[in-house]
Structure 1
Amino acid sequence: MKAWFAQRYLDLLGSIYIYNEHRGYTALDRVLEAVRAKHPEATELIAAVEKHRADERKHYTMFKRWFELRGTMPIALDRMFGHIDRFIEITFGCTIDSLDTQAIIASDDLFERLCRVVSLTEKRGLKQVEILLDHPMVKQDKALHRIFEIVHVDEPDHFLPYDKWLAENARRMPNAWERGIDRLIHSELLFIKLPLLFLWFRAPRLT
């Protein structure tokens, strides 16, 4: 029973992460488009966002390989399990796919908001990875533990460039309301969505 519980937990954990890593690197195409159009002179920031996207793509590939070695497919999750998805929906009032990139390019306030959302999402990711690295079930799976070690090394580079842009352009850092949204999204996943998913034994898998 204990072994089944551990395998079920890791299966759900991997499914959530592979969705979020895939969503992360594809959503960053919008951020890159906005940065290149709005600040073509900011070569350092553009390079940092490009690295961010490349890292997210790398992480997705590692989780994909982990599932291949297990001989199974990830559970088919949607945007309700995506941290960045929920953050964009709450703060911008639309899905990532509906996000108006041209409006963000035209508005300093919207671009600033996007930077804060990405920064908070990545900081949340770093905190969670630090917890998982010490999780006994994760430690039992050496391949998965190694993936999280790599993610942990990469993660700080993912929020520092956005914080730096906010500081250099005299833009505010995340306020209490935005930090509260971050905590709410994480709590929803941890205490509501993950337990329900754990009990959904017939949840469809990707094909």
Structure 2
Amino acid sequence: MLDWFRERYLLVLGSIYVYNEHRGYTAIDRVIEAVRVRSPGDGALIAAIEDHRRDERKHYMMFRRWFEQKGWMPLDVDRTFGHIDRFVEIIFRTPIDRLDTQEVIDRDELFERLCRVIALTERRGFRQVETLLANRFVGGDPILTRIFQIIRKDEPSHWAPYEGWLRDHGKRTPRWWERAIDGFIHSELLFIKLPALFLNPWIARRTDWPDAHEPDGDRMAPRSRAAA
């Protein structure tokens, strides 16, 4: 029984991370597009966000390989389990896929809002990884533990470019209500959605990987900085 519980927990956890890491780097593509148009001369900012994108892609590939080594396919979770998805939907009142990139390019207040959402999401992710590294089920899997250790090392560089842009342009830091929304989304996932997914015997497995239809060049795992 304990073995079943542990495997189910890791399956649910890994499936949520596969979705979120894939959503992360594909959504950042649109952020990079916006920054290149808004600030074409800001090479440092563009490079930092490109590094963030590469890390998110690397993390996705680590989870994918973990699943492949297990001989599993992830559960077929959707944006219901995406932290950034819920944050964008609440703050912008539209799903990420319908977010008007041109409007974000044209309006400073929208880009500023997006930077705060991304920074808060990344900081939340770091705190969650710290919690998971203390989890005995995660600790019992050396490969998964190593994945989360790498993510913990990478995370601080992920919120830095967005907080840096806000600081350099005299924009405000997140207010209490934005932090409250972040906390609500996390609690909703942790105490409602994750248990419901864990207990749902009818949830299907994916039949392909989220990056299956991406260009072959992008499907190659980027080399980690640690290995460089």
TM-score normalised according to structure 1 size? 0.99
Matched AA of 1:149: Q
Question: What is the CA distance between 1:3 and its match in structure 2?
Answer: 1.2
The one-character-per-residue Cα deviations of 1:146-177 (angstroms, maximum 9, x if unpaired) are: 00001011000000111111001000011011
The answer to whether 1:6 aligns with 2:6 is: yes
In the aligned structure 1, how far is the partner of 2:201 from the partner of 2:155? 32
In the aligned structure 2, how far is the partner of 1:170 from the partner of 1:94? 27
Aligned residue in 2 for 1:98: 98
Matched AA of 1:58: K
Q: Indicate the percent of aligned positions where both proteins have the same amino acid.
A: 61
Matches within 5 A, 1:53-132: 53-132=53-132
What secondary structure, in the 3-state scheme, does the structure 1 residue paired with 2:96 have? coil
Higher helix proportion (structure 1 or 2): 1
The answer to whether 1:142 aligns with 2:159 is: no
Matched AA of 1:27: A
Number of residue pairs aligned between Structure 1 and Structure 2: 207
Question: What is the CA distance between 1:89 and its match in structure 2?
Answer: 0.3
What secondary structure, in the 3-state scheme, does the structure 1 residue paired with 2:97 have? coil
What secondary structure, in the 3-state scheme, does the structure 2 residue paired with 1:97 have? helix
In the aligned structure 2, how far is the partner of 1:96 from the partner of 1:205? 24
What secondary structure, in the 3-state scheme, does the structure 1 residue paired with 2:98 have? coil
Matched AA of 1:203: I
Question: What is the CA distance between 1:206 and its match in structure 2?
Answer: 0.5
Structure 1: runs of 5+ lacking an equivalent:
none
Matched AA of 2:63: F
The one-character-per-residue Cα deviations of 1:81-134 (angstroms, maximum 9, x if unpaired) are: 000000000000111110000000000000000000000000000000011111
Q: Which runs of 4+ in 1 moved over 2 A?
A: none
Aligned residue in 2 for 1:180: 180
Aligned residue in 1 for 2:24: 24
Question: What is the CA distance between 1:4 and its match in structure 2?
Answer: 1.0
Question: What is the CA distance between 1:5 and its match in structure 2?
Answer: 0.7
In the aligned structure 1, how far is the partner of 2:35 from the partner of 2:150? 26
Matched AA of 2:80: M
In the aligned structure 2, how far is the partner of 1:150 from the partner of 1:201? 32
Question: What is the CA distance between 1:36 and its match in structure 2?
Answer: 0.6
The one-character-per-residue Cα deviations of 1:27-76 (angstroms, maximum 9, x if unpaired) are: 00110011110011111110000000000000000000000011010000
